[in-house]
């Protein structure tokens, strides 16, 4: 009996040890998978440096999340801010039409005509604020929803990261395009067209006071139009493109959102920028 009891104890110990080892191996596997889902590395996108591919995936996700949210907030602020400003200019011009309609002045008709034309052109400001708003303004909520659905990117980290990189790349390119020379040219052509119409109105009248009124309205409106359109273009969000290039280099340090203080952006590095 003693011998039998002695042989049983070691057998039970070996079984318990094997079970403990199996459990330890299982736990280690779970931890390894968890670590891989939350961290590790993922391939760099097209144009990305090796330094980016070497960065931890969670760092890249955090950077993109922060950058897209910051630029999206500014884009939305710009969009609705300029929509409000544009709506104000339209209302003011329309009010001038009503005011001159109630006047008995000898230049009443000239001012009614000019302000009606100005009102029509003023609609361009709120409309352009809606139509030319950088698409990255809508990307912030999309990224938040993506991370919420994937437990902050832990479910399929590399797939989530690739999708975020694609969204940021498209948004950055769109932002850069809408702050470029074509936008500047369109704005100047619009102001120039308004000036030309008012000058033609002046040329078609033989009454000195009426001609002078048309010319004064042309000059004042052109100056105001240039200031308004240039301010709108100058404050257009432009930081996403440079932020995207910095990301591709693997530089994940946080920075402030930027916008151009000059509308001329013919090529990268040829425009001044102001950080805030």
d(CA 150, CA 228): 44
Residue 84, token pair as written in the block = 């409000």
Using an 8 Å Cβ cutoff, are 240 and 168 in contact?
A: yes
Which pLDDT tens digit goes with each residue over 170-197? 999 888 888 777 888 888 899 999 999 9
pLDDT above 80 for 230: yes
> Does residue 273 have a pLDDT over 60?
no
Q: What's the number of CA atoms in the CB half-sphere (13 Å) around residue 162? A: 11
pLDDT of 35 strictly over 80: no
The stretches of 123-273 forming alpha helices (DSSP H) are 124-131, 139-149, 157-178, 181-203, 208-234, 239-248
pLDDT value for 178: 80
266 versus 235: the higher-pLDDT residue is: 235
Phi/psi of residue 2, each to 5°? -65, -45
Share of the chain above pLDDT 70, in %: 78
H or E segment to which residue 74 belongs: helix 57-101
Q: What pLDDT is attached to residue 185?
A: 87
- CB atoms near residue 77 (< 10 Å): 14
Average pLDDT over residues 38-53: 86
* Residues 18-40, mean pLDDT to the nearest whole number: 43
Average model confidence (pLDDT) across the chain: 80
Mean pLDDT of 51-59: 92
pLDDT confidence tier of residue 167, bands split at 50, 70 and 90: very high
Helix (H) or strand (E) holding 71: helix 57-101
Domain ranges for the chain: 51-275
**If you average pLDDT over residues 67-76, what whole number do you get?**
92
What is residue 256's predicted lDDT score, i.e. its pLDDT?
A: 55
Residue 149 has pLDDT above 80, yes or no: yes
More confident residue, 129 or 37: 129
Lowest mean pLDDT of 85-99, 105-119, 229-243, name the range: 229-243
Element (H or E) spanning 274, and its range? strand 273-275
pTM for the model stands at 0.72
Please enumerate in sequence order all residues whose Cβ is within 8 A of that of 218, keeping only pairs 6 or more positions apart, or say none: 114, 195, 198, 199, 202
The answer to whether 70 and 189 have CB atoms below 8 angstroms apart is: no
Look at residue 34 and tell me whether its pLDDT is greater than 50. no
Asked whether the beta carbons of 125 and 228 are under 8 A apart, the reply is: yes
pLDDT of 135 > 70? The answer is: yes
Mean pLDDT is lowest, of 5-19, 93-107, 237-251, for 5-19
Mean pLDDT to the nearest integer, 222-239: 89
Show the tokens assigned to 88: 């104000």
């Amino acid at each position: 009996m003693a011998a039998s009891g002695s042989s049983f104890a070691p057998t039970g110990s070996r079984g318990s040890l094997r079970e403990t080892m199996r459990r330890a191996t299982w736990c280690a596997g779970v931890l390894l998978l968890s670590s891989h889902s939350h961290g590790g590395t993922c391939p760099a996108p097209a144009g990305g440096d090796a330094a980016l591919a070497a960065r931890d995936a969670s760092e890249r996700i955090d950077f993109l999340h922060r950058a897209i949210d910051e630029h999206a907030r500014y884009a939305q602020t710009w969009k609705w801010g300029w929509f409000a400003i544009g709506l104000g200019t339209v209302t003011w011009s329309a009010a001038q039409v009503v005011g001159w309609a109630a006047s008995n002045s000898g230049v009443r008709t000239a001012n009614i005509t000019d302000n009606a034309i100005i009102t029509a052109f003023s609609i361009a400001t709120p409309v352009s604020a809606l139509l030319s708003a950088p698409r990255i303004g809508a990307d912030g909520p999309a990224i938040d929803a993506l991370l919420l659905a994937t437990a902050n990117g832990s479910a399929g980290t590399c797939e989530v990261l690739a999708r975020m990189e694609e969204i940021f790349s498209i948004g950055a390119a769109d932002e850069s395009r809408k702050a470029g020379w074509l936008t500047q040219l369109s704005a100047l052509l619009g102001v120039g067209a308004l000036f030309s119409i008012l000058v033609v109105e002046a040329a078609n009248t033989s009454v000195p006071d009426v001609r002078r009124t048309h010319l004064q309205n042309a000059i004042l409106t052109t100056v105001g139009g240039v200031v308004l359109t240039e301010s709108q273009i100058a404050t257009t969000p432009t930081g996403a493109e440079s932020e995207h290039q910095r990301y591709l280099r693997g530089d994940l340090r946080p920075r402030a959102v930027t916008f151009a203080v000059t509308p001329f952006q013919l090529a990268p590095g040829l425009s001044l920028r102001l950080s805030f």
